Amino acid sequence: MRRFFLLLLFVASAFSEDAVKPESLGYKLVWGDEFDAKVLDAAKWHTGYAPKVHPLGCNNERQSYAPENAMHRDGHLVLRAERKAREGMPFTSGMVSSHDKFSREYGWFEARVRLPKGKGMWPAFWMLPASKTWPPELDIMEHKGRLPNRAFLTLHEKQPGTWRPKSTGKEWDGPDFTAGFHTFALEWLPGGLRWYVDGVERHRWNGKADFGPMYIILNLAVGGDFDGDTDAATPFPSEMEIDYVRVFAK
């Protein structure tokens, strides 16, 4: 019995990691959305990409983003994917983007989300340059619906002599992100990037990170190169739920 008790203590200590709060690092809230209103705040969000950014069908995605697929429910923003044809695509889905409304360089960027399950579901929380150029791209979180407990944490940066970006990232296995809400955050510093899942650092990149101001995107793509096409078991409608988005600065 004593040996079993010591084993339990070892397992508990191995998985008990203190969560970091941005306020404890000297950050203060400068922008965000708690999604407590009944409609989307048009002063903060668009429901589509910036003009000439990420055209229809990019990455072989199979959805068309419709404004009505970004909805509010019970204090959450809900991005819903449906098997409904639009603009020549077999699915509709939802997204929000802060382009031309909010962008900044450096800080702590965080969202609390619940992700959908099912092959071909591709939810993401990411950032693009306010200059409308690409790369860089900061993927705070990407997820494959067929891998419920895996988060993809990635930087795509410019690579001299080619349009193709240099991609540096980590695939991190944690809890089932489709079973409940979890926080994903990026601490963006002049000398590097730190990715946090539920307040615990899971990946870091060290380097010159003067990418210029960037804006925020949350979207639910369907199909595409990342997780492949949906299959017969993929549920529709599927939803990505966002409890809040918060941005902190020092």
| pLDDT per residue as tens digits for the range 84-111 | 999 999 999 999 999 999 999 999 999 9
- Where exactly are the structural domains of the chain? 24-249
Residue 114: half-sphere exposure toward Cβ, Cα within 13 Å: 12
| pLDDT the model gives residue 45 | 98
pTM for this one?
0.93
| pLDDT the model gives residue 13 | 38
pLDDT tens column, 153-210? 999 999 999 989 999 999 999 999 999 999 999 999 999 999 999 999 999 999 999 9
Q: Which residue has the tokens 């009944």?
A: 38
Active site residues: 137, 142
What CATH number has the domain spanning 24-249? 2.60.120.200
Residue 7: strand, helix, or coil: helix
* Position 5 pLDDT exceeds 50: no
Query: For residue 81, which of 234, 245, 243 has the smallest C-alpha distance?
Result: 234
